Amino acid sequence: MVSLKRNPKDRFWEIDCLRGIAIIGMILFHFFFDLDYFKAYSLGADWKFWWLFPRAIAGTFILLVGISLTISYNRTRMQKSGKALYRKYLARGMRIFSLGLLITLVTWIFLPGGTILFGILQFIGVSIILSFLLVEHPKMALILSLALVSAGAYLQNFTFNFPWLLWLGFPPSDFYTFDYFPLLPWLGVTFLGIFLGNLFYPRGTRRFKIKEGYNFFLAKNLCFLGRHSLIVYLVHQPMLILVLWTLGVL
């Protein structure tokens, strides 16, 4: 959901549009999740769909993190290099991770039963910092992507009696949270994005031809959401709850 900042004229509309579609999907899922959480609607009958749908949405966001990082890096290294370049992405990753810690604090205060300890913002913050090391090595990124996704899929069959490696993908047996994105397997999805970013947008330029989507009303509005995905993520849940409360659903 994080959009690496660039002037709109320099952005690739298809990436913003895809992120905007994912934003719509996220809002829809959380709308029904809130209804289920507050006992106004049950997701139980369609649990397979509701298990897959949010993971597909999150996977899209995380894949785009890797693609966008690759584009941004290839453009920025023309102006910065070495430590200065790394500090740029270190600062960005830490800023996003800090926003994740803020959400941890809010959920700990108001929703202690499902406190978010390592949610998607913490994950994206860490993944930006770690992925920087692979931006110039797309083949290695692809190999590690397959390995990390496979390891994460394997670990999902187990629970553990310690909480210290929860962030890595070792959840304790009594663990429950509203949002959980460990490095295994999700870092593998970011690495896949790095591979695809280098494949389709080498040196920060589009490798394929596509019509300009900003000229279409729907695409233009989806791109707007995609460019402001972080803000939308931070405010959409309070807004949903306010709307449901106003309508008397809650």
- Residue 3: inside a domain: no
Residue 110: name the closest of 239, 245, 238 by CA. 238
- Residue 75: inside a domain: yes
- Residue 2: inside a domain: no
pLDDT at 144: 98
pLDDT at 106: 94
Return the structure tokens found at 84: 């200065």
pLDDT at 4: 54
Between 10 and 9, the higher pLDDT residue: 10
Task: Report the predicted TM-score, pTM, of the whole model to 2 decimal places.
Answer: 0.91
Say whether pLDDT at 170 is over 60. yes
pLDDT at 9: 57
Residue 210 near residue 14 (C-beta atoms within 8 A): yes
- Residue 16: inside a domain: yes
- Residue 111: inside a domain: yes
Say whether pLDDT at 7 is over 90. no
Q: What percent of the chain has pLDDT over 90?
A: 65
Q: What is the mean pLDDT of the chain?
A: 90
Say whether pLDDT at 136 is over 90. yes
Q: What is the pLDDT of residues 218-246, one digit of tens each?
A: 889 999 999 999 999 999 999 999 988 88
Say whether pLDDT at 1 is over 70. no
pLDDT at 102: 96
Task: Please give the average per-residue pLDDT across 130-146, as a whole number.
Answer: 95
pLDDT at 45: 63
- Residue 127: inside a domain: yes
- Residue 159: inside a domain: yes
Task: Please give the average per-residue pLDDT across 68-85, as a whole number.
Answer: 85
Between 44 and 137, the higher pLDDT residue: 137
- Residue 112: inside a domain: yes
CA 197, CA 25: separation in Å to the nearest integer? 23
CA 9, CA 239: separation in Å to the nearest integer? 30
Domain that holds residue 173: 8-246
Please state the domain count of the chain: 1
Q: What is the pLDDT of residues 78-96, one digit of tens each?
A: 777 777 888 999 999 999 9
- 108 Cβ contact list (under 8 Å, min separation 6): 115
Return the structure tokens found at 203: 């040196």
Q: What is the pLDDT of residues 12-46, one digit of tens each?
A: 999 999 999 999 999 999 999 998 888 877 776 66
Q: What is the pLDDT of residues 185-202, one digit of tens each?
A: 999 999 999 999 999 999
CA 98, CA 80: separation in Å to the nearest integer? 25
pLDDT at 8: 52
pLDDT at 86: 87
